[in-house]
Amino acid sequence: MTPYDSYGSFRFGPRKSSLSRALAKDSPLRRLDWIMILAALALSLVGSLLVWSATRGRDSLTHGDPQYFLYRHLTNLLIGIGLCAAVILLGTRRLRTAVPFVYLAVILMLFAVLSPLGSTINGAHSWIQFGGGFSIQPAEFAKLAIVLGMAVVLSSRVDAGEREFPPTRSVLQALAVAGFPMAVVMLMPDLGSVMVMVVTMLGVLMASGAANRWVVGLLAGGTAGALAIWKLGVLSQYQIDRFAAFANPALDPAGVGYNTAQARIAIGSGGLTGMGLFHGTQTIGQFVPEQQTDFVFSVAGEELGFAGGLLMLGLLGVILWRACRIARRATDLYGTILAAGAVTWFAFQAFENIGMNLGIMPVAGIPLPFVSYGGSSMFAVWIAIGLLQSVRSQRPIGV
């Protein structure tokens, strides 16, 4: 066969199809962790069904459209996946240079909440409302900003080869980077988000190789700070009531303890295999408030049972396992910290959310990652998935 085609033009070789190029060994798609991506997608789709079940009969929320929250949840998911893809295309190196601008943008959004632009939902003044029912909760993006900012500060001298672990100055700077947005969020007050940020900060410090005395000191300081906040009356009354109800569930079962009590009834009634999707009596009867957001796990427990809840935990476990794998195999400390920060954030937030549904943790008003309804949360967790994929893509093929 000659290297010329029938028209006499020189042919440099067989053309590869688009599919062949996409599946080639050096293709960027081969660098992605598809197990993690598919697990996150499956968990998000399960969440869409649970949100739909929780809201389809609540005319006061859906404006008479049973699919209202389903469509919005799926729209949020698509936007989140788009943001994930954008982060992957941007890459960790370019993103690293943009971190100061991202951090500043999040800080400005947090201050906007404290301005007349902010609005109060469920007792927390932590939202910015726009037209058409669209709103954002900047505290969700503050979790990202903390992980990104601390990663840059803690890894700069180590990745440059100057040190084997972050020096004292870098640790202090990283604590300031994390502490400033946490202080602003505390003013809202959004105690649940602050709890997640504190645990995430500790996870980042441990992953960075900082001396253990910093973690021990922060735990001691955090305990003292929590006691001071309680004594000084910084918390709102509804937050104090939530902790009181957690300490004594029988204190006010028809008041502040009502949500948890009804969620536990719903989960307990599901048994091993559940009552079936859309057939939960507690869900149909609308006994559990905020069931599409903070208490979405009660829908899973009632309608999908222990097996369904275990499946959701399994999918989340796959995400955490793959993220830990990325952290161990990262080519630099910056990537390790990003992955470890995402693991700590996802793990603790899921534990707190499911724990408050089961009554083993205080009600803190934070969503279940990938599952609860809410655009800000969905966008933030999928951006984090994009960060994890970017870190993985830095490794050579086959490593």
- Are 287 and 293 in contact by the 8 Å Cβ rule? The answer is no
What does pLDDT average to over the chain? 84
Question: If residue 350 lies in a helix (H) or strand (E), which one and from where to where?
Answer: helix 333-358
- Measured between alpha carbons, how far is 333 from 155 in angstroms, rounded to an integer? 6
Q: What is the pLDDT of residues 326-345, one digit of tens each?
A: 999 998 999 999 999 999 99
- Measured between alpha carbons, how far is 353 from 368 in angstroms, rounded to an integer? 6
Q: What is the pLDDT of residues 348-393, one digit of tens each?
A: 999 999 999 998 888 888 999 999 998 999 999 999 999 999 999 8
Q: Give the structural domain span for 310.
A: 32-101+189-394
25 falls within a domain: no
The residue among 141 and 288 whose pLDDT is bigger is 141
125 falls within a domain: no
- Are 393 and 85 in contact by the 8 Å Cβ rule? The answer is no
384 falls within a domain: yes
For 354-366, letters b (16+ CB in 10 Å) and e give bbbbbbebbbbbb
Q: What is the pLDDT of residues 37-52, one digit of tens each?
A: 999 999 999 999 999 9
- Are 125 and 316 in contact by the 8 Å Cβ rule? The answer is no
**What tokens appear for 264 in the block?**
């536990």
173 falls within a domain: no
Quick check: 240 pLDDT over 70? no
- Are 356 and 342 in contact by the 8 Å Cβ rule? The answer is no
275 falls within a domain: yes
Q: What is the pLDDT of residues 75-109, one digit of tens each?
A: 999 999 999 999 999 888 888 999 999 999 999 99
Q: What's the DSSP call for residue 30?
A: G
Q: Give residues with Cβ within 8 angstroms of 18, minimum separation 6.
A: none
Averaged over 116-131, what is the pLDDT?
75
- Are 263 and 286 in contact by the 8 Å Cβ rule? The answer is no
Averaged over 228-236, what is the pLDDT?
63
Q: Which amino acid is at 20?
A: S
112 falls within a domain: no
222 falls within a domain: yes
Beta bridge partners of 4: 10
- Are 107 and 160 in contact by the 8 Å Cβ rule? The answer is no
- The predicted pLDDT at position 11 comes to 46
Q: Give residues with Cβ within 8 angstroms of 75, minimum separation 6.
A: none
Residue 241 — very low, low, confident or very high, per pLDDT cuts 50/70/90? low
The CA-atom distances, in angstroms, between 179 and each of 197, 201, 220 are 9, 9, 16
Q: In angstroms, how far is the first alpha carbon of the chain from the final one?
A: 39
2 falls within a domain: no
What total of structural domains would you count in the chain? 1
φ, ψ for residue 136 (rounded to 5)?
Answer: -130, 150
Task: Find where tokens 């690293």 sit.
Answer: 96
Q: What's the DSSP call for residue 236?
A: -
Residue 123 — very low, low, confident or very high, per pLDDT cuts 50/70/90? low
The residue among 189 and 203 whose pLDDT is bigger is 203
